[in-house]
Structure 1
């Protein structure tokens, strides 16, 4: 198994696990790789150091925190976004293209209040806001429908 450090054109950094270089190139060529933050398919390998397990003994003491490499800029923000996305996905019902209709039904007391998510056009979102229905446009890439790593 080969673990690669990847990044997208927007500067988001993430890992990908592949059977080997050929597997990475095949998935890249087929457009199967996607940034988990923004959903772009513009993914490139970043420089990374391989970890080789040659049977050496583990160090007697754990490495000090001073030796730990500095995290990439924005890593804390990226981690917080992924945490929020996981929580939204876990704690809301996906009503898909029925979002506008279901938000109105809840607002006018025709359906029980609950956390929902789905798709709405910019025009539909503006209409909901004009009616006093609180909505928050939050673009989530398709990868968030899968298990987020």
Structure 2
């Protein structure tokens, strides 16, 4: 297994594991590698130091598969909870989040879309917000 440090076009950093370096190339070409924060498929490898083998035993393939399944289920449950219990405000998310934060709109849980620049401005101004996990890929799109 190879762990790559990756970065999307929006400068979100994350890591991903691949069986071989050619697996990474193949999955990127097929559009299977995406940023877990924004869903962008414009992903590139970052420079990282090689891992030095130690005495720790790497997880077995069944353990990795089980962990992946658990993480995808958790992402589905989080997203489902938000969609069922929060108000969807579409592309007005940044404005509505700011209005709620500043007391100009009723306090409630919301979700919607915002550009990376809008999210940065909200965070810079102390308005709490977090990305909604993207829907995990369908089982037939998994590598």
Q: Normalised by the shorter chain, which TM-score bucket?
A: 0.3 to 0.5
More helix by share: 2
Q: Which has the larger radius of gyration?
A: 1
- Normalising by structure 1, report the TM-score: 0.46
